[in-house]
Amino acid sequence: MSTHAQPKGYFLPGPSAYPAMAATGALTMAFGLTFWFNGVPHGDLLFFLGFFFFVFTKFRWFGKTISESEAGKHNLAVDTSFRWSMSWFIFSEVMFFASFFGALYYSRVYSLPDLSALHSKILWPAFTGAWPSVGPAGLIPSIKEAMDPWPIPTINTALLLSSGLTLTISHHALRASHRKNAIFWMVLTLILGFTFLLCQAYEYHHAYEVLGIKLSSGIYGSTFFMLTGFHGFHVFLGGTMLSVVLFRLIRGDFTAEHHFGFEAAAWYWHFVDVVWLLLYVLVYWL
């Protein structure tokens, strides 16, 4: 938000088609993905059509919001509502990942011991209930070995923690009105983040081709790819947010006093860091 005089009251934007357009794009993506997974012809095209329409809508929508902010229409009351909105959004993401961590915990602590104690005597005599498990029925090919925390996951941990540090330095530089330093450290943050994604892509290739771990590899494969895959998507989303912040930094949108767009992206990135630390311990080490 630029340093214009604070407007009185609470800014209310006029009627907009963007919410309906975004909902249409999301619904098209959902139908396209459903058709694609069920072998309906052109389901993939429908999905990508909805995806690009959704992205286009968000680009125009957020661009309009940025223009309103730069025009001085957003006062402290609007800034407060933005902060609450971002906080609740991150909380919803916390609950999203908590459901998958809960699935991992339940399958390891309750399901496998119960199957081992009860059903091994009735249906699957050779089942031991050890983790990682691909299931007791023997219908799924066994994996060659579980994912090891070294070297890629440990390298990725160092990359993400370092990116959190460089992002914090960039934020402090902006608050000190050192815009060039803020831009430099933001660029470094993005390099570290996208290097993380490249390492994860290599890890997935290794898991699939060498270790035989797939999304269909029982409860181990499904929880591994759902947790790490969704986290990788959030890293990509956070990197996209920081890329927009970098562009706005270069353009000179932010000031030392008014830069909530920067702070919101930074909150999200630090959330992604914390989730990865949990993943690193619970998925790779335990």
- DSSP letters spanning 24-64: HHHHHHHHHHHHHHTT-TTHHHHHHHHHHHHHHHHHHHHHH
Phi, psi for residue 93 in degrees, rounded to 5: -70, -35
Record the tokens describing residue 174, joined without a space: 């902006």
Task: Note whether 207 and 252 are within 8 A (CB).
Answer: no
User: What's the full length of the chain, in residues?
Assistant: 286
Record the tokens describing residue 52, joined without a space: 């690009």
**pLDDT tens sequence for the chain (286 residues):** 444 455 667 788 888 999 999 999 999 999 999 999 899 999 999 999 999 999 999 999 999 988 988 888 888 888 899 999 999 999 999 999 999 999 999 999 888 888 777 765 666 777 777 888 887 767 788 888 888 899 999 999 999 999 999 999 999 999 999 999 999 999 999 999 999 999 999 999 999 999 989 988 888 999 999 999 999 999 999 999 999 999 999 999 999 988 999 999 999 999 999 999 999 999 999 8
